[in-house]
Structure 1
């Protein structure tokens, strides 16, 4: 399965560069998705953020170096990307619970973060409600926010909160066209396939679908219009309390559905649709292998 193969190659890249710079852009190119989507996918499957995994792998290998070599602690610190011995010592103690110097002078208990290996998962424990649709070109209108990819998980919830406070959501409610993709849309785009450290996050509603008799709703003042081409979309129900409902869908999609589907990811944004009464959909563009 190409998806699983690409994920394992991305892990191999991380492993080969624990002593040097690790580029999130390179990781996402290997995996075949955007930086943001790779970070999200990784956190759902591994149950930890990508940055934490890399840090823990480096601290695991640093402990082996302390045990099995005579390298100075300052040299090991620099080897694993720490600017000073003090910063390395703080990180090492937080992860292992002991000082680096104690590893060589005492008998201590250390932690280990093993190298990840992705495999096809066929559990069948929880079914997924989805449909695959050939959806025509459509447009959305909304407010765009530039976001540093590495900060997206912290920043995006704040963007939604601010949108309710600043009147954006009221403007949508007063002029709601009720086209599909339905509801309030959260769209992460830009930086696709690892080409940028910055992405664009858009809170929007659909204002036109390229089908007969669909009236184009004019773009509201202060908003922009974005167009997405006709494509094949896998549309998953994600009903329930947030954020657990959407997180469950992503975890099953990346670990079970996609590897067994015969599809691969298309170079289009993932769209989250937020509707009433804890009803959500996740739209993921796909192409046949």
Structure 2
């Protein structure tokens, strides 16, 4: 269970550094992963972001120290757990515990505690998970690229979802579709011309690339677009059941969650650099999704 060992090693690093500076790139390195890939995996498995987990753990330990009188001054505890002032610490503390740091010293006061996480295999329901593994030679895609911060940045292009929204609104998705040409033979005929690919190249420790893309062939018009070569890879592919549009978000989230929580921990594979495709189409008159994850054997 090497994958689980890596995840637990990353949590060990977090726990050992809660009273100091935690570099997300160092956390990811403990899991042999990129920063974006680790944060995304962590979020899908736990249902909470990595930053929020760290915040909750620090405020849990801060509450213990206030109750036990380990440190007399609130400002010392605030600085210890990464807050620049008693005011910012008190605001965060009250948001989580519902009381001020001063009240935490009172006998019998009720507070919240978030225990450390550990990753393990759990027995779940017997719901079948459809997937297939395919090895594909190198191919090219082209399209509309955005570079995003792993933790978000209001001054930058916000999210991949926002890129889709903008590109639909300004007609760029339709234009890309018209420039695409035919689908390659290794792609299901149920799929559309425009899809998305993520983490296909390195852009920095705290950023990742995401592209609305089409497959490149002799009939494609790539002028004005970013082109990328996808190297030969083994892919694990998860198809969805056909679903109405109002079930799209629920369907794609479930596919991601089952990959990270059920398939990846037990299959003897690891994801390669977080590279993945979101493939969209239609089947039986309903929406259809395939998620492609680049993987290799452990």
**TM more than 0.5:** yes
Partner of 1:211: none
Partner residue of 1:245?
251
Classify 1:204/1:22 alpha carbon distance in 2 versus 1 (closer, same or farther; 3 Å).
Answer: same
- The CA distance in 2 between the partners of 1:106 and 1:258, in whole Å, is 46
**TM-score normalised over the length of structure 1:** 0.90
Higher RCO (C-alpha 8 Å, min separation 6):
1
Cα displacement (A) at 1:160: 0.9
Match of 1:218 in 2: 221
Q: RMSD between aligned alpha carbons?
A: 2.1
* 1:150-189 alignment, distance < 5 Å: 150-151=151-152, 155-176=159-180, 177-179=182-184, 180=187, 182-183=191-192, 184-189=194-199
C-alpha spacing 1:205/1:134, structure 2 compared with 1 (3 Å): same
Partner of 1:206: 215
CA distance in structure 2 between the partners assigned to 1:235 and 1:48 by the alignment: 25
Partners of 1:257 and 1:46 lie apart in 2 by 15
Aligned to 2:205: 196
Q: Return the alpha-carbon distance in structure 2 between the equivalents of residues 2 and 83 of structure 1.
A: 38
Contact 2:200 2:230 (C-alpha < 8 Å) held by counterparts:
no
Query: How far does residue 195 in structure 1 lie from its aligned partner after superposition?
Result: 5.6
Q: Which has the higher helix share?
A: 1
CA offset at residue 37 of structure 1? 2.1
The whole-number CA distance in structure 1 between the counterparts of 2:118 and 2:60 is 16
**Residue pairs, 1:115-126, within 5 angstroms:** 115-126=116-127
1:42-191 aligned at under 5 Å gives the runs 42-68=42-68, 69-151=70-152, 155-176=159-180, 177-179=182-184, 180=187, 182-183=191-192, 184-189=194-199
2-side partners of 1:43 and 1:264: how far apart?
17
CA distance in 2, matches of 1:191, 1:226: 9
What TM-score comes out, normalization by structure 2 length?
A: 0.87
Distance (whole Å) between structure 2 residues aligned to residue 18 and residue 30 of structure 1: 16
Q: Deviations over 1:107-134 (max 9, x none)?
A: 3100011100100234243221111001
Which of 227, 230, 233 aligns to 2:229? It is 227
Unaligned runs of 5+ in 2: none
Name the SS of the counterpart of 1:26 in structure 2. Answer: helix
Query: SS of the residue aligned with 1:260?
Result: coil
Q: Number of paired residues?
A: 281
